[in-house]
Structure 1
Amino acid sequence: MPYVGFVRSPHGPVKTYELILRELERRGFSIEFSKHHWAGDLPFGLVMAETNMGEVAVRWALGREFTLELEEVDKETYDEFVEDTIEYTNADSG
């Protein structure tokens, strides 16, 4: 089953991406492939990963400290989460 998550991070996009992947590995996910979507002028983005436990999509935004909430969802919910986040990022960036 796929997973979706929400992150708050006081860091920029590159460090946040690294922290998300590190936290997923700490929670038992083995990352096989990952990618990161964000618009340079927006304080949020989307990290997607293919893992040994299924697909993972994590939406991140700025916050006071690094926190990650993760939940298992069905494929339709995962696809909608990814599509909505990418649409929102693209609409606000241009």
Structure 2
Amino acid sequence: MSDISSTVFYDAELKAGGKKMTFGSWTAGTTGTGDIKTGLQIVENIVLTPNVNAAGVAKQTAVYETFPLNGGDVTIYTEGNINGYWSAIGY
């Protein structure tokens, strides 16, 4: 398991169907899997936007879940020393 830390920095209620959307960032120091804590009870979708490293090469990220996901923690895989932003939608 990677040492991934995540932060929710904004959440908003959507007008369509009473859904909620949360936004945040993550940081991973090593290659492996870890959880993004979205703050949602049911996650219907998550979008990961990794930052590009100094050499200009994007590192790999992947979501290791099947949606909809009960519980707000989404397991992702990242290559080491990568950070980025995420947005999730659900309830």
TM-score if structure 2 supplies the norm length? 0.32
Structure number, greater radius of gyration = 2
**Higher fraction of strand:** 2
TM-score if structure 1 supplies the norm length? 0.31
